[in-house]
Amino acid sequence: MKSIATIKIDEKVYEFPILEGTRGPKVLDIRSFYKDTGMFTYDPGFTSTASCNSEITFINGEKGELRYKGYPIEELTEKYKYLDICYLLLNSKLPTHEQSIEFDNELRHRAFVDEGFQSLFNAFPRTAHPMAMLSSAVSALSAFYYDHVDISDESEFAQMSGRIIAKIPTLASLAYRRGLGIPIIYPDIDRYFTENFLYMLRAYPGGKMHRNINEKADTKISDIEVKALDTIFTLHADHEQNASTTTVRTVASTGAHPYGAISAGINALWGRAHGGANESVIAQLELIGNVKNVDKYIAKAKDPDDSFRLMGFGHRVYKNFDPRAKILKKLQDQLKDELNLDSRLLEIAHKIEDIALNDEYFIKRNLYPNIDFYSGVILTALGIPKNMFTTIFVIGRTVGWISQWVEFKKDKKAKIARPRQLYLGL
């Protein structure tokens, strides 16, 4: 028997079904609210509104819990590679050993992009932000692959999904190298997905690799570097109905090409309050400059009349420690010596972290360190510049976006997104 909620408005009683998911809070079904009452609901930012059904990702913000397809994020990062997580999100099951190898091999061969993309990237000024170039290039993918995807055909869906997951790192590397004005490096099919991305960033004609442009020594890609970046990709793979995912679903609702929807998601992710936050964290640590200055900036953050805000703390959903941040903190501690993490930035970050975890001001407001607080230091150690941080987020999140796009398209009850408004004009 269905549960029913009653709402009394102007002495009239209305009934609405209460829906129950497998996890999380109950949901009041108000799809008929306007039809029944002649009124809209008002929920800026959709903080209390469930816009869809989903079986992909579950978050319990109060408990600090994150699951992909029912699997705890802690288990997935410990036992599986990023491409295994991609397989899980796309197929609702973890791959066998043979399936893992086959999927990996497929993406290695799909990583190449049409030679026409060289002309596209050469048309951008070298000063362009990598996210601007990447979103444009992904939109252009729909011109090169304008096949209308039949999602009822599993092979066609798999081809579309594998194509964009494989090509995003290549396009990101082209954006990076355009900014430096250096020759492009083609994907190497002998390298795993994550190693291949680092290779396309670092390699030069002739076979040498450099972690950053100022290094002279030949640098090999270590297993620990691949593990670190692979973990970051996994932690970013999906995160329920956040701003960029909602953007992808909204664009999908119009019938737009899936690559166009993902391009829109990239632009939404670029925002400083969303995916651009880890770039801001490192910039802020560099601004603070010295551990002696931390107290001064903490005081500024507490001052209600000061516009300064401490980046990398608090989360819209998590009211406890971000589980992804816990994993990265542990990884950061493990990598401190192996990756030669910037000791100056780490010292500043550790003092800020210690204050935030013990200061009543931060505790009362649930301002715990989030994933962005830790990821920037690790990415810096990998030789990845700040303006590329958000493209790393894009690479990890692409599989989540395409999974969400498919789930939306398969939902027979889905409609074009069309919020209403509280009109206050003349």
- For residue 173, tell me if it sits in a domain: yes
> Does one domain contain both 123 and 17?
no
Residue recorded with tokens 């954006």: 175
Strand arrangement of the beta sheet that strand 65-68 belongs to: 57-60, 65-68, 71-72
Q: Are residues 330 and 192 in the same domain?
A: yes
Q: Does residue 84 fall inside a structural domain?
A: no
Kindly state whether residues 361 and 409 are assigned to the same domain. Answer: yes
Query: Is residue 402's pLDDT more than 60?
Result: yes
Average pLDDT along the chain? 90
Q: What is the pLDDT of residues 346-360, one digit of tens each?
A: 888 888 888 888 888
The answer to whether residue 381 is domain-embedded is yes
Phi, psi (deg, nearest 5) at residue 270? -60, -25
Q: Which residues share a beta bridge with 204?
A: none
Take residue 214 and report the two structure tokens written for it. 């100022």
What is residue 196's predicted lDDT score, i.e. its pLDDT?
97
- Mark whether 36 and 136 lie in a shared domain: no
Window from 50-54, 150-154, 250-254, 411-415 with minimum mean pLDDT: 150-154
157: Cβ–Cβ under 8 A, 6 or more apart, which residues? 149, 150, 151, 406
Over pLDDT 90: what percentage of the chain? 59
Look-up: residue for tokens 């930035």?
A: 345
In a domain, 74, yes or no: no
Residue 80, in any domain of the structure? no
Task: Please state the pTM of the whole predicted model.
Answer: 0.91
372: annotated active-site residue: yes
Q: Residue 37 belongs to a domain with what CATH number?
A: 2.20.28.60
Do 119 and 26 fall within a single domain?
A: no
**Does 165 score more than 80 pLDDT?**
yes
Q: How far is it, in rounded angstroms, from Cα 78 to Cα 76?
A: 5
Whether 237 shows a pLDDT value over 80: the answer reads yes
List of residues 6+ apart from 154 with CB closer than 8 A: none
For 313-322, what is the mean pLDDT? 78
Residue range of the domain that includes 9? 3-67
Give yes or no: residues 63 and 107 share one domain. Answer: no
In a domain, 111, yes or no: yes
Q: Which of 11, 44, 67 is the last residue of a domain?
A: 67
SS3 label, residue 238: coil
CA distance 200 to 196: 6
| Residue 78: inside a domain | no
Average pLDDT, stretch 393-419?
A: 94
pLDDT of residue 216: 53
Residues 36 and 120 reside in one and the same domain: no
Cβ proximity of 332 and 374 under 8 Å? yes
pLDDT band at 218; cut points 50, 70, 90: low
pLDDT, tens digit (0-9, with 9 covering 90-100), for 183-212: 999 999 999 999 999 999 999 887 777 776
Is residue 328 located within the same domain as residue 281? Answer: yes
pLDDT digits 0-9 by tens, 354-384: 888 888 888 888 888 888 888 888 898 888 9
Could you report the per-residue pLDDT of 389-399, keeping only the tens digit for each?
A: 999 999 999 99
Question: How many domains, in total, are found in the chain?
Answer: 2
The verdict on 125 and 28 lying in the same domain is no
pLDDT at 149: 67
| Annotated catalytic residue within 84, 230, 238, 372 | 372
406 within a domain of the structure (yes/no): yes
Handedness of CA 349, 351, 354, 358 (dihedral sign): negative
Query: 63 with 211, same domain?
Result: no
52 shares its domain with 116: no
Of 23, 43, 67, the one marking the end of a domain is 67
Q: Which of 230, 236, 315, 322 is the catalytic position?
A: 315
pLDDT in tens, 90-108: 999 999 999 999 999 999 9
Q: Across the strands, what pairs with 59?
A: 66
Cα distance between residue 169 and residue 379, in whole Å: 15
Instruction: List, in sequence order, every residue forming a beta bridge with 14; answer none if it has no partner.
Output: 7
Question: What single string gives the DSSP state of each residue in 107-124?
Answer: HHHH----THHHHHHHTS
* Residue 151 predicted with pLDDT over 70: no
pLDDT for res 260: 93
Compute the Cα dihedral for 128, 129, 134, 139 and give only its sign.
negative
Query: Do 402 and 326 have their domain in common?
Result: yes
Domain end among 42, 67, 92? 67
CA distances, 418 to each of 43, 154, 259, 410, 412 (Å): 14, 30, 21, 19, 17
| C-alpha pair distances (Å), 281 with each of 28, 376, 394 | 38, 7, 18
